Structure 1
Amino acid sequence: MSETLPGPAPAPTTDTVPPRTIASIGEVLDVARSLLPSLSEGAAERDRDRVLPHGPVREISRSGLLGITVPRELGGLEAPASVVAEVLRLFGTVDLSLAQILQPHFSFLNALRLRGGRPARERVYGDVLAGSLVSNAQAERSGRTAHTHATRIEPDGDHHIVDGTKYYATGSLFADWLAVVAPAPTPEGPRPHIAFVRADDPRVRIEDDWAGMGQRTTASGTVHLSGVRVAPEFVLEQYRTFEGPTTYGAHAQLLHTAIDVGAARGALEEAAEFVRTKSRPWFESGVDHATEDPLLVHRFGELEVLVRSAEALLETAAARVDVADTTPVDEDPRAAETATAEASIAVAAAKVVGGRAAVDVSSALFEVAGTRATADAAGLHRHWRDTRTHTVHDPVRWKVQHIGEYSLNRRRPPRHGQI
């Protein structure tokens, strides 16, 4: 067991104020919408100065939204994927980075739902209901591909030992729990597992070292794990998730898509507000106000069509994931296979269009708003930097490939968690 690495403990989201109790699924979106004004306040300044959103994350924790997917049997609302996606879409309209902090939280709570035993579910879900945030510790820089892991989860007596380093760990600087993805031994050889690790464990060190051009405030630190001891009930056999039809990948990708679609809407609304209040008409238009320029109006129409298309595809995809989640595998395996394949393809299509909408609209913002919009002080470039950064998390060209295979050859998409 290696020596404990020095370093400050991460700031937890939980505090002395208990989270609000959200009484029903119908109330979830009302709560999310009520937060938008305060979450949007200062978003540009946070990005400009790279000020991590301690206050907004604490506000989200206190709102009760972090616990909406906890199963009813454990005191939660068991909100479906479509509701979670709409929450992230709403947050994405005001601050993509803030919405992105929540994506791994809900994705790994879904992994816990699929593979976790009773002790792990009771402990982690209980903490989440008390306001805790779950973050990822997944990506690595070494290895042949981005999904090759040097980190290891090894049995050691009555515990497991986790050793390694994870990068781009979204939200980790705010985390109470870290979901560490790494291989662990099985009779068939090393296979992917998830270890739920307390972020305040003394053998965990999290560096605040994210230096991307966009998503500056996602609190995406580097996580060092040095001989972390984990009880076996907190180590999930993640590889078994993909032995049958599952919505794990579709669920995770749906949330990424929701963030993109929300960001596209947010960029378009900010562009419109800028044109209404600050832009001047082109001299050839013969009008007194930029909002009356017929070519500018036409361009806004094109962008609105693009954003509405992405929103419609997101809604369809979310509904397909909900259907797949409620199709029992044991009762009708064939129907479950079909439902999960349809969900993955629908999400993939929404991800392709949503990502394009986010990047295109955040770029067209400057085209329609004019030179004044490029001023650094305006902070409008954060929309493009954020969307361009977020949309390279995984290549949409492979999503198009799987959509084509399904359309032409009726080949179902692979089970690997990325579609």
Structure 2
Amino acid sequence: MSSPPEGVHIIADDAEALAVAARLAEEFRAGAAERDAARRLPRAELDRLSASGLPAVTIPAGHGGAEVTARTLAEVFRLLASADASLAQIPQSHFVYIEVLRRQGTPEQRAFFFGEVLAGKRFGNAQSEAGTRHVQDIRTRLEPLPDGSYTLTGVKHYSTGALFADWIPVLARAGDDTLHVAYVPRNAPGVTVVDDWDGMGQRTTASGTVRLHAVPVPANRVIPHHLTFQGPQLHGSVAQLLHTAIDAGIASGALAEAVEFVRTSSRPWFESGVDTAAEDPLLIQRFGELAIRVRAAEALLSTAALAVDTARDDLTDHTAAEASIAVAAAKVAAAEAAVETGSALFEVSGTRSALDSLNLHRHWRDARTHTLHDPARWKVQHIGRYVLGGIRPPRHGLL
């Protein structure tokens, strides 16, 4: 586990958050291909991210944070993902579990954990489990003790961020089967984080296994997450908005790399009759098509973020549903744009682009891996039901 950086900066507002994200994206882009190829985990880069203050930008103003809009946060993630999709994925759960605290934390819990985040501490996650009936079949258990505390036991997979975390929020069920989040120190007794992630894409997220064996958890580190879904909520739309931003960032990053490659390294096809590949009318056509795809994904991302901000200002069943549907539409478009652009990069760049040493295939691998997070086909179903029958999307946290 990395130590929190000294002298963590506090970002003042949305404009500064975007400026810092743009600067870090350029910095992180320079080593992204090498990190992926060597599977060098981005510990130093994450420490720079923490020191910059970006992981604290959603902390409420009343607690000393910038409390940026969803639109700003989405753009922060898009910028980072355009440079390094693995690195951008790591803090996604960090922001989701800040939202859990905002929604269900007690004043004391919020004060403590928001202070931790402002000091540069990072949240990971331990949510998903393998071998269960479905994604919401959570078998990790919080067992109560006579003094009011708990022990936590279970095995989690795809635990992005846990290896680099100071705190690991763990999704678990209590004795009455209700869903809770336990915030556990990364180095707590009984916690083992295993770096066994071997995905073809997002290779440096370290999304491995977390084993929890009778982990002691004080009562004031447990949040009743099931209450989140008993009324209108933005848990799912905020989480999915960040996934959408990552996909949109992958698409824009792949397009930018294709443009640079064609301008500097590609040869024109001999039948084109032009001097450079960038003058080939067929390539121009294809780049135009790809640009439209990417711009559409970015526009839908912005629209979805605005819907989340609107719902946050006036949270009702209607505004929550509108936010979920807007995010779902953006997620479908961004996922398609990321996969298509990551693949088309080779189509427009030619044979040399397939050299493994260039590692241009990381964009497609990242897109193909990340877009498997939850099926777009179900998002399309919920959109169709809402449009045709006015049926609001379910409150299960994945929409």
Which category describes the TM-score, using the shorter chain as reference length? Answer: over 0.9
- Counterparts of 1:14-33 in structure 2, within 5 Å, are 14-15=4-5, 17-33=6-22
TM-score by length of structure 1 reads 0.94
- Find the residue that maps to 2:142 and give its secondary structure: strand
TM-score by length of structure 2 reads 0.98
Give a deviation string over 1:332-355, Cα, whole Å, max 9, x none. xxxx11111000000000000000
Equivalent of residue 29 in structure 2, options 20, 40, 52: 40
Counterpart of 1:154 in structure 2 is: 143
Matched, 1:175 2:155: no
Gapped runs of 5+ residues in structure 1? 1-10, 329-335
Residue-pair matches, total? 398
- Find the residue that maps to 2:157 and give its secondary structure: strand
Aligned partners of 1:13 and 1:175 also within 8 Å: no
Q: What percent identity do the matched residue pairs reach?
A: 53
Matched, 1:165 2:155: yes
Cα distance in 2, alignment partners of residues 42 and 12 from structure 1? 20
Counterpart of 2:322 in structure 1 is: 342
Please state how far the C-alpha of 1:26 moved relative to its aligned partner.
Answer: 2.0
Once the two structures are overlaid, the 10-residue window that deviates more, 392-401 or 120-129, is: 120-129
Give a deviation string over 1:298-340, Cα, whole Å, max 9, x none. 0000000000000000000000000001105xxxxxxx11111
- Find the residue that maps to 1:182 and give its secondary structure: strand
Cα distance in 2, alignment partners of residues 23 and 84 from structure 1? 14
Matched, 1:409 2:389: yes
Counterpart of 1:331 in structure 2 is: none
Aligned partners of 2:194 and 2:209 also within 8 Å: yes
Cα distance in 1, alignment partners of residues 277 and 71 from structure 2? 38
- Counterparts of 1:111-260 in structure 2, within 5 Å, are 111-157=100-146, 158-185=148-175, 189-260=176-247
Please state how far the C-alpha of 1:13 moved relative to its aligned partner.
Answer: 4.9
Cα distance in 2, alignment partners of residues 227 and 344 from structure 1? 37
Cα distance in 2, alignment partners of residues 310 and 231 from structure 1? 43
Aligned partners of 2:297 and 2:330 also within 8 Å: yes
Aligned partners of 1:135 and 1:178 also within 8 Å: yes
Q: Which amino acid aligns with 2:338?
A: A
Equivalent of residue 360 in structure 1, options 340, 345, 349: 340
Cα distance in 1, alignment partners of residues 118 and 54 from structure 2? 9
Aligned partners of 1:153 and 1:160 also within 8 Å: yes
Aligned partners of 1:159 and 1:230 also within 8 Å: yes
Please state how far the C-alpha of 1:42 moved relative to its aligned partner.
Answer: 1.1
Give a deviation string over 1:124-180, Cα, whole Å, max 9, x none. 111110111101100100211122122111211220111011111001110001110
- Find the residue that maps to 1:195 and give its secondary structure: strand
Equivalent of residue 317 in structure 1, options 304, 325, 329: 304
Cα distance in 1, alignment partners of residues 32 and 378 from structure 2? 33
Aligned partners of 1:88 and 1:258 also within 8 Å: yes
Cα distance in 2, alignment partners of residues 234 and 30 from structure 1? 34
Please state how far the C-alpha of 1:105 moved relative to its aligned partner.
Answer: 0.6
Give a deviation string over 1:174-207, Cα, whole Å, max 9, x none. 000111001112xxx3011111111111221101
Matched, 1:397 2:386: no
Aligned partners of 1:13 and 1:174 also within 8 Å: no
Aligned partners of 1:13 and 1:131 also within 8 Å: no
